[in-house]
Amino acid sequence: MKTRNVIAFAGMAVLLLVLLVLNLCIGSTSVPVGEVWHALFGSSADATASNVVLQLRLPRALAAVVLGGALALSGYLLQTFFHNPIAGPFILGVSSGAKLTVALAMVIAMSRALPMSSAAMVAAAFVGAMLSMGLVLLLSTVVHRMSVLIIGGVMIGYLCSALTEFIITFAADEEIVRLHTWSVGSFSGIRMSDVLVMTVVVALSFVGVLMLSKPMSAFRMGETYASSVGVNVKVFRVLLVLLSSVLAATVTAFAGPVSFVGVAVPHLVRSLLDSSEPRRVIPGCFLGGASFCLLCDLLARTMFAPTELSISTVTAVFGAPVVLWILVKNQKGRERA
Amino acid sequence: MNELLKTVDLSVGYDGTAVAGPFSFPIFKGEVLTLIGPNGAGKTTLLKTLAKQLAPVAGTVLLEEADLAVTKPIELAKRLAVVFSDALRPEQMTCREAVAVGRYPYTGRFGRLSDEDERIVDEAMEQVRVTELQDRPFTAISDGQRQRVVLARALCQQPEIILLDEPTTFLDIRWKAEFLEALKRLSEEQGKTVLMTLHEPELARLVSDRVACIRDGKLDRLGTPDEVFEGRYIAHLFGLEETLYDKWFGES
């Protein structure tokens, strides 16, 4: 038990480190590891390489780490909330809701030539995430079958995406390129100041999630048992929704909607740890989500360089099969029962 | 005898509509009290209200002198534990973890178990004989085993009273006997109060100190098994024809 955890966490940490280095080295101009080291610690002689690493690749890689971890956590919280392993911010339309309000805010800000601070983007995304989440929760009071609720979430997602497309289509020409890249999901164009904002928000949320690990552990046995051992279920559920929405909103504000990470990573991490104990799964999800997004972003920008793929294209290729695997496994479990 | 739990003009139901009551009866410290009656009589609804899983439609539940409605959840969890049939089947959770959930009211902010907590978990598992299941996944054990694991979890709360909703329903005859024997021991040896609903009147008769009969949402009879089972009362309670009762359950 214990050794398995140590090996799993050490493995995930090493993987994260290796992927981080690869993300800094590989690209249109490849930078050797030694040069990356010099650039990071300010002793580089090669100004171009140093610029590429510090201005472009480092913020992008750090964003993939922070946002990837945030997405996986957001998914894990939603899975806890709904007692369902395929719930996630993208599937339930939370990401698309955030996308819609961010697009609206961006268009309004641009048309009035106002600067859009990254904090304002997060705030706009949070409003949208909460709106979609509210719709899903409203739906869940009427619809009790989880599969139907998830289809409901997918529909809310489509609706929000359609409205976003509508806004983008009628936005002024010069805004379209930027909006379009963002609305399909991408880690490109993220600045170091953005990284700072997202790190603060995600770090605070991460602490919040850790504080919930105790009730989350009891909640695994269902609401009746959780409340019977002293969990205030109402407050707990509100906190789950708020934290998962903040996390999903932060991701969407900076990188647009990113698919499947929230569903696939928590599942892979639980299987790897062979445990659903939140004290282990929460940090595991963060590490796993970070590595998953680093890998996907590396592939997105290098596979068909100079053309970049949207991040969701790559995450879907790896994530969707995991979701199918979960569905098949659950079906088998049900047939056995 | 001291009253531990007491219902005062208690009506129970859902969304403000009463399905049973009003009830006014005490539950004594250390006794095994069983609720019996036909399906739909309101036994489970009453039990859930006594466990504070449902708010009363009218009236109050007193835990000693304190109103259950204003008792803090954590404080209540240290005194009252439940074994209900609606446990989920969480993936990748061991039986030991499931039992340890019962330490929730006693552990700190992050739920880390102290040596003392681990010892109490060990003891609880030994008491209901599930120690050998501790590393098995909670999803991979039989219904009878699961029921005992859930009971061990309740014992970890070190409660004064345990409420159980039809705990023997999915058990075969051996596990029924073992489970009820364990409850009887808890009451006799440790002075725990046990309040449960049972499907089978014959079992209620054997295990209980007192039996409460609920019929059409009312407390129809409350007393020792001998008092309650006098004559053909059970036939009357369940609306069973007397000839059929004599054939299947009669004394001679």
Residue of B239, B232, B181, B171 whose CA lies nearest to B206: B181
Chain B residues within an 8 Å CB radius of A334: none
Residue of A309, A305, A306 whose CA lies nearest to A297: A309
At B149 the pLDDT is 92
B147 in contact with A, Cβ within 8 Å:
no
pLDDT tens per residue across span B190-240: 999 999 999 888 899 999 999 999 988 899 999 999 998 888 888 888 888
Chain B, 66 to 125: residues with Cβ < 8 Å from chain A are 73-74, 76-78, 80-82, 84, 86-93, 97-98, 101-102, 104-105, 107, 109-112
At B252 the pLDDT is 47
Q: What is the pTM of this model?
A: 0.91
Partners of residue B164 on adjacent β-strands: B83, B196
Structure tokens at A130: 């909460």
Distance CA(A274)–CA(A263), nearest Å, equals 17
Least confident span in A205-219, A301-315, B117-131: A301-315
3-state secondary structure A45-113: CCHHHHHHHHHHHHHHHHHHHHHHHHHHHHHHHHHHHHCCCCCCCCCCCHHHHHHHHHHHHHHHHHHCC
CATH code of the domain occupying B31-45+74-249: 3.40.50.300
Residue B251 has pLDDT above 70, yes or no: no
Q: If 0-12 CB within 10 Å is exposed, 13-18 middle and 19+ buried, where does residue A330 land?
A: middle
CB A187 within 8 A of CB A60: yes
Write down the ipTM of this complex: 0.89
Pairing between β-strand B161-165 and β-strand B193-197 as defined by DSSP bridges? parallel
Give the angle A286-A248-A318 at the CA atoms, nearest 5°: 60
Alpha carbon of B163: minimum distance to chain A alpha carbons (Å) = 11
Domain coordinates in residue numbering, chain B: 31-45+74-249
CB contact under 8 A, B110 and A221: no
pLDDT tens per residue across span A96-134: 999 999 888 888 887 787 777 888 888 999 999 999 999
> What's the one-letter identity of residue A176?
I
CB A328 within 8 A of CB A272: no
B157 in contact with A, Cβ within 8 Å:
yes
Residue A217 has pLDDT above 90, yes or no: yes
CB contact under 8 A, A214 and B105: no
pLDDT tens per residue across span A154-174: 999 999 989 988 888 877 666
CB B155 within 8 A of CB B187: no
Decide: helix, strand or coil at residue B108.
coil
At B93 the pLDDT is 92
> What's the one-letter identity of residue B160?
E
The single-letter DSSP state of residue B167 is T
CB contact under 8 A, A220 and B88: yes
Least confident span in A40-49, A128-137, A152-161, B91-100: A40-49
In total, how many domains does chain A have?
A: 1
**A224 vs B86, B93, B111: nearest CB:** B86
Range of the domain at A256: 2-336
Distance CA(B209)–CA(B190), nearest Å, equals 15
CB contact under 8 A, B101 and A232: no
At A337 the pLDDT is 46
Residue of B73, B94, B51 whose CA lies nearest to A233: B73
Q: Which residue in chain B is spatially nearest to A222 when comparing CA positions? A: B88
CATH, residue A146: 1.10.3470.10
Q: Which residue has the higher pLDDT, A239 or B244?
A: A239
